[in-house]
Amino acid sequence: MKKSFPRFDMARDLIRTQWYLKPITKLLSWPSVVAHKPIITRNGTEGLEPPFILLCNHNAFMDFKVATQIIYPRRANYVVAKEIIILDVV
């Protein structure tokens, strides 16, 4: 029999990034972005204000670092499939 695990509470409010952590996220993501030199193209984004949806093709885990650099000083809520990450261990 498989062990069950608690499901995510979809009715719970989002946990926002604390204001003092925003500069730290930029500093931590900056070295990887500079080292890998991704090509960042902004088309039609002049005057764009939140809320908006940023779609990434997720070629690597570095996509989160690049997205952090692009939208700074704004915050992001990354949507991922949490249940897929949890492994069933019997």
Query: How far apart, in whole angstroms, are the C-alpha atoms of residue 68 and residue 30?
Result: 9
Phi, psi of 35 (to 5 degrees): -65, -35
pTM of the model: 0.63
Which DSSP symbol is given to 29?
A: H
Tens-digit pLDDT profile for residues 33-87? 899 888 888 888 888 888 888 877 666 778 888 888 888 888 887 776 655 555 5
Q: How confident is the model at residue 90 (pLDDT cuts 50, 70, 90)?
A: very low
Which of the pair, 90 or 75, is modelled with greater confidence?
A: 75
Which DSSP symbol is given to 9?
A: -
What are 53's two structure tokens?
Answer: 């949806």
Q: Where are the domains of the chain?
A: 19-85
Q: How many residues does the chain have?
A: 90
Say what the pLDDT of residue 51 is.
86
